[in-house]
Amino acid sequence: MTSDTLDERTLLDRVAGGDRSAFEQLYTVYYPRLFRFLLRYTGSLGHVEELVNDVMLVVWNRASDFRGGSKVSTWILGIAYRKGLKSLERDRRRPHHEDIDEVSLISTEGPEQDLSRRQLRDRVIAALSRLPPEQRAVLELTYYHGCSYPEIAEILGCPHNTVKTRMFHARRKLRDILPELERSAERRGGLDR
Amino acid sequence: MSRHDAFHSEHEEVWELLPWHVNGTLEDRDARRVEHHLSHCLPCHAELGRQRELASLVQAPEVLPLSPGHGLARLEGRLAASRRLTARRPLGWGWLALAEAAIIVVLLSAVLAQRQPPALPQATFETLGSAGPTLDRASGPVFRALFAESASERELRELLAGLGLRIVDGPSPIGLFTLELAAETRDPRAPAAVLAGLRAHDAVRFAERIDRPSTPQGD
């Protein structure tokens, strides 16, 4: 993640002043990022749009609280993480929690060398869905949102070492789940890059 | 520490840092340390390849049901209401929730006290969650909701339309509306999402799904 563009900080300042047009621009920029993060973190499509709106409502109401101690994106993703966490806790209390069955995408049939890149990607998504949410969040924030580990620690509200440990465990589990990842890396010249 | 121990200590630290070497966010000092170690550690070099491949697969474009325009439209009413509420609340959110809960209890008590003569039979008492005869008129999942007095008709219309709800009865003497989820919504996750949507809206003071004798309750 690069440092805040002037635009994002300016937009947030305008949102703090009650500028609806600035809020709409910020919403449009963050909607896909938040949608993706919350979908991957909570593993449930049913509530994602409502959660995105919960996050952006906090942004609308609390924009004036942002002091610039972190990037705008770190602040907003931190709000998203807490909303996602609450949603997961609510779901755990429900007797019949219904997840998207991404695990069902995993197929054990067919020679692995025939897997297309698209299929491999589907398998990675399915494998990610089998990780604990906290490990999923770290991996997603690192590889999709491009966050540094200190930024992830701030978003999750945990020590740096906890971030590294969660990533360590996620990598180990993915390695067990996805042996073809290594072969794919070799085929694409991953070792020589 | 022996050279062997020092190598293993460095190896473990670098191994942990590899994902952030891949995404290019390491501080200069850490980045230099990782580069140096990679130059003479084959396992770390192989892991770097795997992590690069994983990163590229995670970053690949995907089709998601994104609709920022729809999401923003659903948020519109909440934005206006929340700023109005925030503006007249110097006590903060915790007090706000307590105060609102207290207001609801007081209002309900007052209305019930006015409307219920002492000899009213138990069977006609209306509670927030009672099902009532309107269930017979609805074919889809049914909810009951109590709206904020400050909510405008337009705000409520947009809220209900956004969630795919229609009013089948109400307001009751204590202000409860009975709402039905559109029959065309067959997604089994929909009732839970609708209930969450109602509860999350500032204009909604109370919402719950009503049990049907023949259908399981979603929440």
Note whether A53 contacts B74, CB cutoff 8 Å: yes
Q: A91 with A140, same domain?
A: no
What's the pLDDT band for A5 if we cut at 50, 70, 90? low
Q: A88 with A118, same domain?
A: no
B65 touches chain A (CB under 8 A): yes
Interface mutation vs chain B, best among A54, A97, A143, A145, most B CBs within 10 Å: A143
pLDDT of residue B84 exceeding 60, the answer is no
pLDDT in tens, A181-192: 666 666 766 444
Of the candidates A68, A100, A132, which is a domain's last residue?
A: A100
Residue indicated by tokens 């809206």: B201
CA distance A95 to B132: 25
Look at A177 and A51; give whichever has higher pLDDT: A51
Q: What is the mean pLDDT of residues A144-166?
A: 97
Nearest to B196 among A32, A47, A164 (CB): A47
Nearest to A46 among B59, B71, B192 (CB): B192
Q: A33 with A107, same domain?
A: no
How many domains are there within chain A? Answer: 2
pLDDT of residue B20 exceeding 90, the answer is yes
In this structure, of A74-78, B124-128, B133-137, the range with the lowest mean pLDDT score is B124-128
pLDDT of residue B184 exceeding 90, the answer is no
Nearest to B57 among A31, A46, A120 (CB): A120
Q: A135 with A150, same domain?
A: yes
Q: Name the residue of chain A whose CA is nearest to B27's CA.
A: A148
Average pLDDT, whole number, for chain A?
Answer: 82
Look at A30 and A117; give whichever has higher pLDDT: A30
Asked if residue B75 lies in contact with residue A54, where contact means CB atoms within 8 angstroms, the answer is no
Note whether A144 contacts B58, CB cutoff 8 Å: yes
Asked if residue A185 lies in contact with residue B49, where contact means CB atoms within 8 angstroms, the answer is yes
Nearest to A49 among B58, B62, B71 (CB): B71
Q: Which range has the top average pLDDT, A33-37, A40-44, B145-149?
A: A33-37
CA distance A51 to A43: 12
Predicted confidence at residue A71, as pLDDT, reads: 93
Q: A90 with A152, same domain?
A: no
Q: How distant, in Å, are the alpha carbons of A16, A61, A128, A181, B51 from that of A134?
A: 31, 27, 11, 22, 19
Interface mutation vs chain B, best among A20, A47, A49, most B CBs within 10 Å: A49
pLDDT of residue A4 exceeding 70, the answer is no
Predicted confidence at residue B219, as pLDDT, reads: 38
What's the pLDDT band for A150 if we cut at 50, 70, 90? very high
- Per the structure, the complete domain to which residue A52 belongs is given by 1-100
In this structure, of A2-6, A161-165, B77-81, the range with the lowest mean pLDDT score is A2-6
Q: A172 with A134, same domain?
A: yes
Of the candidates A77, A100, A123, which is a domain's last residue?
A: A100
CATH at A76? 1.10.1740.10
Predicted confidence at residue B21, as pLDDT, reads: 97
Provide the 10 A C-beta neighbour count for residue B107: 15
- What ipTM score was computed for the predicted complex, to two decimals? 0.82
Note whether B64 contacts A39, CB cutoff 8 Å: yes
Q: A56 with A68, same domain?
A: yes
Q: A96 with A15, same domain?
A: yes
B153 touches chain A (CB under 8 A): no
Q: A80 with A124, same domain?
A: no
Q: What is the mean pLDDT of residues A65-82?
A: 94
Of the candidates A100, A133, A166, which is a domain's last residue?
A: A100
Q: A8 with A90, same domain?
A: yes
